[in-house]
Amino acid sequence: MNDETTRLLIFDDAKATARAAAERFAEIAGESVRSRGRFSVALSGGSTPRRIYALLAGDEFRARVDWSKAHVFFGDERCVPPDDEASNYRMAQDALLSLVPVPVENVHRMIGEGDAVANARLYEDELRAYFGDVPSPSFDLVMLGLGEDGHTASLFPETPALDERGAWVAANWVEKLGAYRLTLTASVINSAAHVLFVVVGAGKAQCLNEVLNGAREPRRLPAQLIRPVRGTLEWYADRAAAAKLEGGEK
Ligand code: 6PG
């Protein structure tokens, strides 16, 4: 799998994986600010990133990112208010954003409460305000997780957003959740300079092997849609999640 733009790195455990991801985050942030004077990142949600965000907010990493030049976006959001315990914004706010000096106006929350379709359009406006009127916004970094069903961001198997062409943000009806989710579309993620998946735990092993080594079935395994056009694609996994990868190091 490893070539000049795609890498799979396997770490001993979840803690080592999170630390490596924090290191990569800081590296990309520094590179972006040095070359373009700013850093745009779309954060992933769920539980895995919490440990990464806590490291970034901690003494070892906090000063390594010029937060005054960082713009924080979200890869996806649950359709709940920002103070809901399911909110990706709330998790990132609690674990990272309230603990680092990122200007409040630089945190671009997806509005989870209210009309999902309208909120998807509003977020697209927010992206255009930052990236300008470009064919597709190019984040410096998009962080992603992997669901055991092969979803990433809120691109769930067999859902309408997988077919989205042109829109940057989708209000994706997820039948099995009985709910809408807001999500960046695959084409936006694939326009990023760097995409970093972080996958830990034995529960992800089967799916990770199918995504990386199985047949190409992106409607069943939407994470397979993620193929950056020009950017890098990196998978950081712990040994437990990598346990079913055939042939060891890829
Ligand atoms: C979300 C995430 C989602 C997540 C995966 C893995 O909103 O839940 O964006 O794509 O990355 O579901 O979640 P865990 O890290 O909790 O396993």
Domain residue extents for the chain: 6-238
SS3 99: coil
Instruction: Work out the pLDDT band at 249, boundaries 50, 70, 90.
Output: very low
Q: How far apart are CA 43 and CA 195, in angstroms?
A: 11
CATH topology for 6-238 is Rossmann fold (3.40.50)
Q: Which atom of ligand 1 is nearest to the CA of 201?
A: 17
Q: How far apart are CA 197 and CA 233, in angstroms?
A: 8
Instruction: Identify the pLDDT of residue 246.
Output: 74
- pLDDT tens digit sequence for 13-29: 999 999 999 999 999 99
Q: Which of 17, 44, 162 to mutate to test the pocket of ligand 1 (most atoms within 8 A of CB)?
A: 44
Q: Tokens in use for 232?
A: 């890098």
Q: Tokens in use for 71?
A: 């713009």
How far apart are the CA of 151 and the centre of ligand 1, in A?
8
Residues in the ligand 1 pocket, defined by CB under 6 Å: 44-48, 75-76, 88, 145-147, 151-154
SS3 44: coil
Q: How far apart are CA 147 and CA 150, in angstroms?
A: 5
At how many degrees (to 10) do helices 14-36 and 49-57 cross? 60
CA 150 to chain centre: 14
- pLDDT tens digit sequence for 177-236: 999 999 999 999 999 999 999 999 999 999 999 999 999 999 999 999 999 999 999 999
Query: Are residues 172 and 182 in contact, defined by beta-carbon separation less than 8 angstroms?
Result: yes
Q: Tokens in use for 250?
A: 């890829």
Q: Tokens in use for 230?
A: 């020009």
Q: Which of 146, 148, 198 to mutate to test the pocket of ligand 1 (most atoms within 8 A of CB)?
A: 146
Q: Which of 17, 41, 48 to mutate to test the pocket of ligand 1 (most atoms within 8 A of CB)?
A: 48
DSSP state of 12: S
Is residue 148 predicted with pLDDT exceeding 50? yes
Q: Cβ–Cβ contacts within 10 Å for residue 101, how many?
A: 11
How far apart are the CA of 8 and the centre of ligand 1, in A?
19
